[in-house]
């Protein structure tokens, strides 16, 4: 595709120095001959300048995970997510881990584009690594990680290149429980219980009814399972293979994948048209 930039290049109006200015690293420029690098750069610039059709930015997600639910309980935070990875309406992957540890005190759960989530985990690894200093006694807590993620998400939406996720972050540090959420455009908040996507419609009404501050671990898990079962019945992307994670002052444990007992013989499931006469 001809562009004003290749026109500039043909007339040698863009120098190697110019390439630095466009943000290409010196390694990248040295590796390629100037001609090749210019070509690559201009192709990249073309796609930035052209309409969204051949854009390099995420315009829609490919492989997605569905809801994540997080709650506070007596000793810390509990989180649940299933392990499905959907490629549109196909459930393409069935062992995707969507609950991950971040630093010493935090737990991150993600719904949305799986590859973006893995990219976010890379950013967080880097964040924790750069923050680490031997024996300084400091460590990033869930509040800090949440704040960092809100900035990353908002920044990417400002660049019109969003990370296609809704994130739930929870943790305990210095006896303080923390549970928060961030969306792909940077909307964020804290609450006693949070849920992404369908979970906000199907699980949170249950949580609003049944959640208590002094929930025991067993009660918390039971409550989460009730929510996940409800999602399993009504969310077509949900799969019956899930993990539940617990984080307390003592540390983090993520359960082995397991399934919920289900019951599909409800009259309304077996014969959905009874009582709806006149409809198909």
- Residues near another protein (CB under 8 A) are 59-61, 88, 150, 154, 157-158, 160, 162, 164, 181, 183-191, 194, 200-201
Task: Output the CA torsion 120→124→125→128 (10° steps).
Answer: 180
Concerning whether 58 is annotated as a catalytic residue, the answer is yes
Alpha-carbon span 279 to 83, nearest angstrom: 36
Rounded to the nearest whole angstrom, what is the least distance from the CB of residue 124 to another protein in the complex? 20
Active-site choice (16, 58, 90, 196): 58
Strand partners, 102: 106
Rounded to the nearest whole angstrom, what is the least distance from the CB of residue 165 to another protein in the complex? 12
Nearest to 181 by CA among 171, 194, 198: 194
Alpha-carbon span 146 to 257, nearest angstrom: 26
Judge whether 170 and 182 are in contact, CB under 8 Å: no
Judge whether 257 and 97 are in contact, CB under 8 Å: no
Rounded to the nearest whole angstrom, what is the least distance from the CB of residue 187 to another protein in the complex? 5
- Other CB atoms within 10 A of residue 213 CB: 9
C-beta closer to another protein: residue 93 or 154: 154
CA separation (Å) from 261 to 84, 98, 229, 230, 267? 17, 21, 8, 12, 18
DSSP conformational letter for 258: B
Rounded to the nearest whole angstrom, what is the least distance from the CB of residue 94 to another protein in the complex? 22
Rounded to the nearest whole angstrom, what is the least distance from the CB of residue 86 to another protein in the complex? 12
Judge whether 182 and 197 are in contact, CB under 8 Å: no
CA separation (Å) from 235 to 90, 228, 232, 240? 13, 10, 6, 11
Point out the residues that are catalytic: 58
């Amino acid at each position: 595709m001809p562009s004003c930039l290749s026109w500039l290049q043909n007339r040698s109006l863009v120098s190697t120095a110019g390439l630095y200015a466009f943000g290409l690293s010196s390694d990248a420029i040295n590796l390629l001959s100037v001609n090749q690098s210019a070509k690559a750069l201009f192709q990249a610039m073309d796609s930035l300048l052209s309409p969204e059709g051949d854009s390099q930015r995420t315009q829609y997600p490919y492989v997605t995970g569905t809801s994540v639910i997080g709650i506070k309980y007596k000793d810390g935070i509990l989180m649940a997510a299933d392990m499905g990875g959907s490629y549109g309406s196909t459930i393409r992957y069935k062992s995707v881990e969507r609950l991950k540890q971040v630093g010493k005190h935090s737990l991150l759960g993600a719904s949305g584009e799986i590859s973006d989530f893995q990219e976010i985990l890379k950013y967080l690894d880097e964040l924790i690594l750069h923050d680490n200093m031997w024996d300084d006694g400091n460590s990033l807590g869930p509040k800090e990680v949440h704040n960092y993620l809100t900035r990353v998400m908002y920044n990417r939406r400002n660049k019109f290149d969003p990370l296609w996720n809704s994130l739930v972050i929870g943790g305990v540090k210095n006896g303080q429980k923390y549970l928060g959420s961030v969306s792909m455009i940077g909307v964020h908040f804290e609450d006693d219980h949070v849920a992404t996507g369908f979970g906000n419609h199907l699980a949170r009404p249950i949580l609003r009814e049944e959640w208590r501050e002094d929930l025991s671990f067993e009660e918390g898990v039971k409550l989460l399972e009730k929510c996940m079962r409800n999602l399993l019945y009504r969310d077509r992307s949900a799969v019956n293979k899930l993990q539940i994670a617990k984080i307390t002052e003592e540390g983090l444990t993520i359960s082995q994948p397991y399934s919920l007992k289900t019951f599909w013989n409800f009259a309304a499931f077996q014969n959905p048209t009874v009582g709806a006469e006149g409809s198909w």
